Chain A
Amino acid sequence: GDQVEQSPSALSLHEGTGSALRCNFTTTMRAVQWFRKNSRGSLINLFYLASGTKENGRLKSAFDSKERYSTLHIRDAQLEDSGTYFCAGDRGSALGRLHFGAGTQLIVIP
């Protein structure tokens, strides 16, 4: 939606390298979620952050509510990391409705 600007829209990485995805929010978000869409089309939960940073294996995410952005860092990319990554912001209105970015299509090259 127009409240979430996600970049880049597409990204190619060689195996073993890394990069960062970013989401800028046009309004204050209470929390952010990051997802990866797998080959079967399912959205896999990667992170939920209300503030600060979280790390899980080769993935690390940060969220700054005041500065209105979130990042997802991928290091040592593997072929199975290929897919479309989405961020989604929760504005804090009743019950946590999510506003999604348009996604980043990641291709990891051997």
Chain B
Amino acid sequence: EAGVTQSPRYAVLQEGQAVSFWCDPISGHDTLYWYQQPRDQGPQLLVYFRDEAVIDNSQLPSDRFSAVRPKGTNSTLKIQSAKQGDTATYLCASSSRGGSSYEQYFGPGTRLTVL
């Protein structure tokens, strides 16, 4: 079974540029999460979806960040006008509500550097 896949693996931007990250969750997983992990810190949730619906985006900087999951499968996280403070690894995770476990599985992440 394929795990969570993400692309690109790395991105380097100048401040003010835009970037999109793409995530393909584990097949059949209905819940998808985007986390931001600054260097030397634990991941922090940005937004998550159940199927195509946004469940919680309260931690997403809404003026520059957006996330969609239009068909309830793949998802895209976009940053408009990136800032140096956005430098971090962006992780995608997925889980399934089936059964009693909500175990999350993570992709390899996209390491973003904003110069």
CB contact between B108 and one of A41, A90, A94 (< 8 Å): that residue: A41
> Which residues from 34 to 59 on chain A have a C-beta closer than 8 Å to any C-beta of chain B?
35, 40-43, 45, 48, 50
Instruction: Indicate with 1 or 0, residue by residue over B34-47, a CB within 8 angstroms of chain A CB atoms.
Output: 00000011111100
| Assembly CA distance A28 to B52 (angstroms) | 29
The answer to whether B109 touches A42, judged by C-beta atoms less than 8 angstroms apart, is yes
Interface size of B in residues (CB-CB distance below 8 Å): 28
| Assembly CA distance A95 to B101 (angstroms) | 10
The answer to whether A100 touches B44, judged by C-beta atoms less than 8 angstroms apart, is yes
A33, CB-defined interface residue at 8 Å? yes
A-B contact pairs, 25 of them (CB 8 A): A1-B44, A33-B104, A41-B89, A41-B111, A42-B108, A43-B91, A45-B105, A50-B100, A50-B101, A86-B42, A86-B43, A88-B42, A94-B55, A94-B56, A95-B31, A95-B55, A96-B31, A96-B102, A97-B45, A97-B48, A98-B45, A100-B43, A103-B40, A103-B41, A103-B42
Write the residues of chain B forming the contact surface with A, with a CB cutoff of 8 angstroms: 31, 33, 40-45, 48, 50, 55-56, 89, 91, 93, 95, 97, 100-109, 111
